[in-house]
A and B are shown apart, each in its own frame.
Chain A
Amino acid sequence: MAATVAQTAGSEKNMLLRAELRRSERWGKLRAFALVLPLLLFLVITFVFPIGRMLFNAVHDDTLLTLMPRTTAALAAWDGNDLPGEQVFAALAKDLRDTWEQKTMGSVAVRMNYELPGTGSQFTSSARKASTLLTGPYKAALIQIDPLWERKEVWNFFKRGASPFTAYYLLRSVDYQYGADSQIVATPPETAIFRDAFLRTFGISVGVTAATFLLGFPVAYLLATLSPKSSNLLMILIVLPFWTSMLVRTVAWVVLLQQNGVVNQALVGLHIISHPADLIFTRFATIVAMTQIQLPVTLLPIYSVMKTIPPSHIRAARSLGAGSFYAFWRVYFPQTLPGIAAGCLLTFILCLGYYLTPALVGGPSDQMVGYFIANYTNKQINWGLASALSALLLVATLLLYYVFNKLVDVNRLKIG
């Protein structure tokens, strides 16, 4: 009896202790979280939110909905076949007058020009003329003002504007667009540039990744097999450029590859070519410069995996009768694969996002997706399209990064 009481008291004490412990653990967690919170909040506001908003803007555009509210609403009942009725035209006339008075016709015109090039100015002049059009019937009058209002694709464009969301920018960034009946059609070849840009980005990235691998592998092998003293010395040669800013390294290539630069001078001096070649602003220059910049990124993971491979494996293979090439290829090389995968994937991911180097050493036909994003942001001013291109690039990057993370984790399991 007494023992039971003591036991109960003990377990009660235990429970109290456990509760205490849990509380202090919760406190600890809370304190740890409080330490991270400032940075987390900072990044959410200054980084995650802007990116999220940009992704949202890739599919969201309520220009027509807010600036042409009556027209887009009246078109909801339109069947999309014949011209809309008088009631829709009346709504349009009111909206046109509003945009004229509030000076918002410019925004609508810009939006129209994205999807129906050249119609923007027709819209603006319609708005100007419609501002004096106070009584109906509007249909005939508006069509007389501008034949624009007879075109079915224009009406379908406004009908699509009833939704604040649009797939136009995403479609456009893979060279599709809306046809006259809101069906999805391929962009005409003269403006279909984005699939090429993505393919080019992919191609350049593959090329650079392959080049860094081919150049980096022998060096990594050398570093891994040399004595620590000499390999540390050589390591400086790799780490120093790695930490020199990308701009400086790009500038170096710009200077070297000039028409009358060092490389041309050397090539002419060695009688390899008779006249200075166009080296800068070419695909060749882009790939060479990017390869030089990315080389350490591919090399270092390969090197760090090679360091973990015991040299005794090769010796064992050799003593069992394998030739030196066979031993290398069948015993050593397979063990370096995790490092190769990590290094190459990392370089590939980073290459996809290149902007600076192709912009400075590449020509107009060597520009990657990053260039188009920049171009549509501050030159062509089509933020929706810039957002859609960024969204596609970002998704590709994050997916590949996810794969990378899985791979590296697998590596750790294998090595550890």
Chain B
Amino acid sequence: MSTLVYASTIEKGWYWLHRIISGTVLLFLVAPVLMVIPLSFNSVPFFTYPMSGFSFRWYEEFLLSARWQGGLQNSFFVAVAATLLSSVLGTLAALGLSRPNFPWRTAVLGIVISPMIVPTIITAVAVYFFYANVGLVNSYTGVILAHTAIAAPYVVVTVSATLVGLDNSLVRAASGLGAPSITVFFKVILPLISPGMIAGSLFAFVASFDEVVIALFVAGPQQRTLPLVMFSGIREQISPTIIAAAAVLVLFATAMLTAVELLRRRSERLRGIRGT
């Protein structure tokens, strides 16, 4: 504001115009989801305000109908399995890639990151063609493997970011004091990178939990995940239960990301203490 004291009228006008534009854009960014979620509490299946009454009936349908429950269970099962697999594979890979003089780093990193770059529809179709040949279409294994492939890069990137800040002298000190490398890993490295690992697995979980395009091609009626139930629901007829499911997904993602943010702060704080 202090700069405004010397500003001309035109400059003041620009200043406020800029703020108004930015505010509108921010509103455009958050309003759609925020405006839609309350409609899931509407007592009638209409999508306009004012709502005619408050009701949990759509959440009841979400929690009690076999279709949605099956979707939720499948999503959890697939996401947990994909998270476990991608976390183990991704953390090991991040540890390897962080070593100095890693051979063919660019090429290897390119392959490891590629599931993030290739458009999902291409991944989905390619995996579908492949699975059709090896008999993995309409199987849990197929969905889990494909989700692991797209979730693993998130783990690699997140854990690698933690490893950049890892003080290597701690590792050397432990080795110098005679700890075998397995002990060094479990007692020194793992506790230090655990915030990154947890954050990475949360990202992986969200990546699998929210994924719909690959599931659309690879999952059969038995493996329908929650986003898939939502997707086919919109195609048939949009119902407030879909919004209730969307609200649950939003709540979930928000909780996960709050956890990630808290972990990041914690690890920064820990590192700060160690640094001094």
Residues of A within 8 A of B (CB): 25, 28-29, 31-40, 42-44, 46-51, 53-54, 57, 215-216, 218-219, 221-222, 234, 237-241, 243-249, 251-256, 258, 260-262, 265, 292, 295-296, 324, 349-350, 352-356, 360, 370, 373-374, 377-378, 383, 386-387, 390, 393-394, 397-398, 401
- Is B84 at the interface (CB under 8 A from chain A)? no
Q: Is the CB of A241 within 8 A of B30?
A: yes
Expressed in whole angstroms, the Cα–Cα distance for A383 and B130 within the complex equals 12
Which chain A residues lie closer than 8 Å to B145 at the CB level?
46
Which residues in A have their C-beta under 8 angstroms from that of B46? 260
Contact indicator A248/B93 (Cβ below 8 Å): no
Our pick among B33, B234, B254 for the contact of A254 (Cβ within 8 Å) is B234
Chain B contacts for A378, CB-based, 8 A: 128, 217
- Are A39's CB and B26's CB within 8 A? no
Query: Which 8 A-B pairs give the minimum distances between C-beta atoms?
Result: A353-B119, A35-B96, A245-B210, A50-B130, A32-B99, A36-B96, A39-B93, A370-B121
Is B171 among interface residues, defined by CB-CB distance under 8 A?
no
Give CA–CA (A296, B127) in the complex, Å.
29
The listed residue (A28, A54, A255, A355) touching B39 by CB distance below 8 A is A255
A390 near B120 with CB under 8 A, answer no
Tell me which residues from 198 to 226 in chain B have a Cβ below 8 Å from any Cβ of chain A: 206, 210, 212-213, 216-217
Chain A interface mostly helix, strand, loop or mixed?
A: helix
CB neighbors of A among B109-160 (8 A): 111-112, 114-115, 117-130, 145-146, 148-149, 152, 156
Interface core residue of B39, B97, B234 (most chain A CB under 10 Å): B234
In whole Å, how far is B239's beta carbon from the nearest beta carbon of chain A?
10
Instruction: Kindly identify which residue among A37, A244, A350, A397 contacts B33, using a CB–CB cutoff of 8 Å.
Output: A244
**Is residue B238 contacting chain A, with contact meaning CB distance below 8 A?**
yes
Chain B residues with CB under 8 Å of A356's CB are 212-213, 231
Q: Is the CB of B212 within 8 A of A247?
A: yes
Check B25–A215 contact: CB distance below 8 A: yes
Contact A39 B112 (CB under 8 A): yes
Tell me whether B29 and A251 are in contact (CB under 8 A).
no
Inter-chain CA distance A387–B124, complex, in Å, is 12
Contact A373 to B125, CB < 8 A, known contacts A39-B93, A40-B108, A324-B14: yes
Residues of A within 8 A of B36 (CB): 251-252, 255-256, 262
Beyond known contacts A46-B146, A251-B36, A356-B213: 7 more, CB 8 A cutoff: A29-B101, A219-B25, A243-B253, A243-B254, A262-B48, A353-B118, A377-B217
The answer, yes or no, to whether B187 is at the interface (CB within 8 Å) is no
Q: How far is the CB of B9 from the nearest CB of chain A, in Å?
A: 12
- Return chain A residues, CB-CB under 8 Å to B22: 218-219, 221-222
Question: Which residue of B has the minimal Cβ distance to A324?
Answer: B11
> Is B230 a contact of A251 with CB atoms below 8 Å?
yes
B102 touches A50 (CB 8 A): no
Beyond A39-B89, A218-B18, A241-B30, whether A394 also contacts B119 by CB under 8 A is yes
Could you tell me if A258 and B47 are in contact, using CB atoms closer than 8 angstroms?
Answer: yes
Q: Do B92 and A39 have beta carbons less than 8 Å apart?
A: yes
Query: Are the CB atoms of A36 and B93 closer together than 8 Å?
Result: yes
Known interface pairs A215-B28, A256-B36. Does A222 touch B18 (Cβ–Cβ under 8 Å)?
A: yes
Distance between Cα atoms of A41 and B5 in the complex (Å): 63
- With A50-B126, A245-B227, A247-B231 known as contacts, the answer to whether A42 contacts B29 (CB < 8 A) is no
**Contact at B47–A54, with CB atoms within 8 Å?**
no
Q: What 0/1 readout, one digit per residue, does chain B (15-52) give for beta carbons within 8 Å of chain A?
A: 00011011001101110110110010000001111000
B181–chain A nearest beta-carbon distance, Å: 9
A251-B246 in contact given A42-B152, A218-B22, A245-B253 (Cβ < 8 Å): yes
Residues of the B chain whose Cβ atoms lie less than 8 Å from the Cβ of A349:
117
User: Can you give 14 contacting A-B residue pairs, CB < 8 Å?
Assistant: A42-B89, A44-B111, A46-B127, A218-B21, A219-B26, A244-B249, A252-B33, A262-B48, A295-B28, A353-B121, A356-B213, A373-B125, A398-B117, A401-B117
Taking a contact as CB atoms under 8 Å apart, the answer to whether B227 and A292 are in contact is no
- B149: chain A residues within 8 A (beta carbon): 42-43, 46-47
Contact A237 B26 (CB under 8 A): yes
Question: Which B positions have Cβ atoms within 8 angstroms of A?
Answer: 7, 11, 14, 18-19, 21-22, 25-26, 28-30, 32-33, 35-36, 39, 46-49, 89-90, 92-93, 95-97, 99, 101-103, 108, 111-112, 114-115, 117-130, 145-146, 148-149, 152, 156, 206, 210, 212-213, 216-217, 227, 230-231, 234-235, 238, 242-243, 246, 249-250, 253-254, 257
- How far does the Cβ of A20 sit from chain B's closest Cβ, in whole Å? 16
Pick the residue among B99, B156, B250, B253 that contacts A28 (CB under 8 A): B99
- What residue in chain A is nearest B6 (Cβ atoms)? A318
Are the C-beta atoms of B49 and A265 separated by less than 8 Å? Answer: yes
Residues from chain A with a CB closer than 8 A to the CB of B148 are 42, 46
CB distance from A207 to the nearest CB of B (A): 16
Which residues on A sit within 8 Å (CB–CB) of B238?
254-255, 258
Q: Across the interface, which residues of A come within 8 angstroms of B118, CB to CB?
A: 51, 353, 394, 397
Q: Which A residues are in CB contact (< 8 Å) with B28?
A: 215, 292, 295
Q: Which of B29, B108, B234 lies in contact with A360, CB distance below 8 A?
A: B234
A265-B48 contact in complex given A39-B90, A255-B238, C-beta closer than 8 Å: yes
- Smallest Cβ distance from A110 to chain B, in angstroms? 15
Given A51-B123, A240-B254, does the pair A253, B32 have CB atoms closer than 8 Å? yes
Asked if B250 and A244 make an inter-chain contact with CB atoms under 8 angstroms apart, the answer reads yes
Question: How long is the Cα–Cα vector from A118 to B75 in the complex, in angstroms?
Answer: 43
Whether the Cβ atoms of B152 and A39 lie closer than 8 Å is yes
Expressed in whole angstroms, the Cα–Cα distance for A48 and B153 within the complex equals: 14
Q: Judging by beta carbons under 8 Å apart, are A355 and B120 in contact?
A: yes
Q: Which residues of B contact A33 (CB under 8 A)?
A: 96, 102-103
User: Are A248 and B249 within 8 A (Cβ)?
Assistant: yes
Q: Which of A29, A252, A386 lies in contact with B246, CB distance below 8 A?
A: A252
A252 cross-chain contacts in B, Cβ below 8 A:
32-33, 35-36, 246
Residues in B with CB closer than 8 Å to A243 are 206, 253-254, 257
Bound complex: CA A54 to CA B130 (Å): 8
* B89/A38 in contact, CB under 8 A: yes
| CB-defined contacts of B35 to chain A, threshold 8 Å | 252, 256, 262
Is there an interface contact between A47 and B115, defined as CB atoms closer than 8 Å? yes
Q: How far is the CA of A401 from the CA of B149 in the complex (A)?
A: 20
